């Protein structure tokens, strides 16, 4: 996949993909949950972790159900 996007104009194709933004949202949720887990906002950290699991695992579960 790296070779596919070595040309700068190909990055426009990547940024138009829905999956890219879904994975980015999940990754940001995981990182934020990790850092907030070290503070007193434990319930918010748990909710962000649950959001990350839903966002990142949802397409896998849907694909398995459709299959």
Whether the model pTM is above 0.75: no
Residue environment code for 11-46, b if the CB has 16+ CB neighbours within 10 A, otherwise e: eeeeeeeeeeeeeeebeebbebbeebeeeeeeeebe
One digit per residue, the tens of pLDDT, for the chain of length 67 reads 555 556 666 666 666 677 778 888 888 888 888 887 777 667 888 888 888 888 888 878 888 888 8
Give the pLDDT confidence score for residue 41 in this predicted structure. 66
20-33 pLDDT, tens digit per residue, is 788 888 888 888 88
> What is the C-alpha to C-alpha distance for residues 21 and 30, in angstroms, rounded to an integer?
14
């Amino acid at each position: 996949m790296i070779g596919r996007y070595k040309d700068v104009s190909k990055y426009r194709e990547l940024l138009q993909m829905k999956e890219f933004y879904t994975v980015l949202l999940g990754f940001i949720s995981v990182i934020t949950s990790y850092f907030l887990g070290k503070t007193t906002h434990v319930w918010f950290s748990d909710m962000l972790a649950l959001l990350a699991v839903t966002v990142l695992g949802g397409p896998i579960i849907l694909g398995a159900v459709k299959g």
